[in-house]
Amino acid sequence: MTATPVYLDHAATTPVDSRVVAAMAEVLSAGLGNPASTHPPGRAAAARVAHAREQVGALIGAAAADIVFTSGATEANALAILGHVRGQPAERRSKGHVLALATDHKAILGPVQRLADEGLAVTRLVPARDGVLSADALAAALRPGTLLVSLVHVNSETGVAQDLPALAAVCRERGVALHVDAAQSAGKLPLDVQGIDYLSLTAHKFGGPQGVGALYVAPARRVTLQAQQVGGGQERGLRAGTLPTHQIVGMGLACELARSGREALAAHLESLRQRLWQGLADLPGVLLNGHALQRAPGILNLSFEDVEGESLLAGLPELAVATGSACNSSSGEPSYVLRALGRDTQLAQASLRMSLGAGSTEQEVDTAIAAVRRELTRLRALSPRLPPPVADWQAQGWRVLQGEAGARRLGTWLRLLLAVEGDRVVAARFQAYGCPHTLAACRALVGALPGQGPSTPRGSPADWLAQSGAPTDKLGRMLLLEDALQAALSAW
């Protein structure tokens, strides 16, 4: 097992390009001033910012003057969504309507919810089960009072790419502003802001530093866009705060590198993604999430039948991958994106997003394939769906006791098997669908049962909870283990 996990989480953040690091270090050591200042050090910084603005604009087919620097795509999204709506005349705003996708990133859904809290009508449109929003579905959801359509170009979990030209054409025809979050598509797919009113970027998805992003604002929208961060006149009044010159220079160079290397990177990512998918597709119960073809090249999201998601992830220490929602994968909650696309809770939880980057290799992909295949085999061998493995016990003439509790839909399903001879347990086994703590408690219990009689003390759910290192909110799973044990002992 490798000491450093194979990094397959580039959709969350990708390493900073070494050339970008060097450029940022040079800026930091150059003694530049505040780019808002008029003295020579300030003007030197302003010149660096201006050049970076041109580089960002060139990546998306925009004029430099239409680029507003932000702290990232999350802030850019908030500026576009809240700033656009709040900048409308009061009467129009009071009757307004905003549309987003139910599968959009929380950086979009959060500002949209804030508008809903303020009384605006909001539609969270559910795309087709493959994650694609058709132009017809968008057109049917628009209303006379729709002020803004906000959507993600490439979904960060599934990699599904929306047909921006077709959706932009619908919005233009109806006179509705369109905001696009292009955080996952910049540098991987062709981008052109023609027909788009607002477009958000973040540098750390394509080799730039964290903490800097940009918002493209169409010239016709700049007049009414309301600043959300106030306190200074920076960015022509649209975003207050001293510009971080070194980060902006890093983003600018990352954009230039992404623009020149996009086709080669896309081919590299597509080749690796196909290799990863082909290495797992032949396994039973492996389901591809999202459209098979209309997608970004470097993201693969799979759901796995008959395994518990937390146990699957815990069994892959050699891989750095995401499960659940990418920005909140530690929560243990099932992905709302996959649930919206029709996956049940168990399948949504038992999903992995493996995302590739410029530095990813075939060897790393092969390591991931072997690790996932190994863990699927191990966990499925424990499944209570399989017949109880007791043939060898029966051949010994031992009496077999069986107790079961829980269900797959509850997230924990346990079966305890006891081999009894006379008044003693001579062997014990378990089958389980459950979290790593539950499996650990089962292993400890079956290890302690041989040699015991029907009334020998065996500990309590609280004891098993402590021994497994589980948090208190998993006590219910230990209670199910107790139920399975009691069910087996009741037949003694």
Domain ranges (residues) in the chain: 6-11+264-381, 18-259, 391-489
Residue type, 479: L
Q: Which residue has the higher pLDDT, 403 or 324?
A: 403
Range 6-11+264-381 has CATH code 3.30.470.30: no
CA-to-CA dists, residue 252 to 19, 34, 258, angstroms: 12, 18, 10
- pLDDT at site 332: 58
CATH number for the domain formed by residue range(s) 391-489: 3.90.1010.10
Query: Is the Cα dihedral 338, 339, 343, 349 positive or negative?
Result: positive
Q: What is the DSSP letter of 328?
A: G
| CA–CA distance, 263 with 44 (Å, rounded to integer) | 33
pLDDT (average), residues 315-331: 71
What's the rounded mean pLDDT across residues 246-263?
98
Q: Kindly give, in sequence order, each residue whose CB lies less than 8 Å from that of residue 384, ignoring residues fewer than 6 positions away.
A: 404, 413, 414, 415, 431, 432, 433
Cα dihedral angle (416, 417, 420, 426), rounded to 10 degrees?
-90
Quick check: 325 pLDDT over 50?
no
Do 6-11+264-381 and 18-259 fold alike per CATH? Answer: no
Residue 433 has pLDDT above 50, yes or no: yes
HSE of 4, CA atoms in CB hemisphere, 13 A: 3
Determine which helix (DSSP H) or strand (DSSP E) holds 161, and give its type and residue range. none
Indicate whether 457 pLDDT > 80.
no
Q: What is the pLDDT of residue 3?
A: 73
Integer Cα distance of 392 and 476 in angstroms = 33
- Residue 467: pLDDT band by 50, 70, 90 thresholds? confident
**pLDDT value of position 186:** 97
Residue 327 annotated as catalytic: yes
Pick from 327-336, 374-383, 462-471 the range whose average pLDDT is largest: 374-383
3-state helix, strand, coil in the chain (%, to 5): 45, 20, 35
- pLDDT beyond 60 at 327: no
The second-level CATH assignment, the architecture, of 18-259 is: 3-Layer(aba) Sandwich (3.40)
Q: Which of 255, 327, 435, 442 is catalytic?
A: 327
